[in-house]
């Protein structure tokens, strides 16, 4: 897979996410509040701790994607001077590494989500 395809995919996802960033921040803080409240409650959380943690992870993940990929650096201009081309390639290289890390994080959060929902359903 070409690096540009993965970066453009995340940029395509980031555009609608960035419009909903205020709502995502509200969800993040609300879920974090439930997580902390249920974590320190003496009678137990009733299985809500993993679910609120997963919501915190998803909201944080979506906010990060919206922030990191909303604006892409300019593509490499073959007519530019050497240092300008090098700087553009380095910026796009770091963005590609960030896209790979984001994909790995997405897989991790998806697996944790399935496990948390399974734990919650077994506890019901």
Per-residue model confidence as pLDDT tens digits over 79-113: 888 888 888 888 888 989 999 999 999 999 999 89
Measured distance CA(40)–CA(36) in Å, rounded: 6
Angle between helices 3-19 and 21-40 (to 10 degrees): 80
The encoded tokens of residue 14 equal 């980031």
Rounded to whole angstroms, the Cα distance separating 18 from 110 reads: 21
CA distance 28 to 60: 7
Would you give the end-to-end CA distance of the chain in angstroms? 43
Looking at residue 38, its pLDDT comes to 81
pLDDT at 45: 55
* Under-70 pLDDT residues of the chain: 1-3, 44-47, 124
Q: Is-contact 73 4, C-beta < 8 A?
A: no
């Amino acid at each position: 897979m070409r690096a540009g395809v993965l970066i453009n995919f995340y940029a395509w996802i980031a555009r609608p996410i960035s419009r909903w960033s205020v709502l995502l921040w509200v969800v993040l803080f609300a879920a974090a509040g439930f997580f902390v409240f249920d974590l320190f409650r003496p009678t137990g959380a009733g299985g809500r701790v993993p679910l609120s943690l997963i919501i915190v992870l998803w909201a944080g993940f979506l906010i990060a994607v919206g922030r990191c990929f909303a604006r892409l650096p300019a593509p490499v201009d073959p007519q530019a001077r050497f240092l300008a081309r090098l700087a553009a390639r380095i910026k796009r290289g770091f963005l590609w590494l960030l896209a790979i890390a984001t994909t790995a994080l997405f897989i991790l959060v998806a697996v944790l989500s399935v496990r948390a929902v399974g734990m919650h359903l077994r506890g019901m």
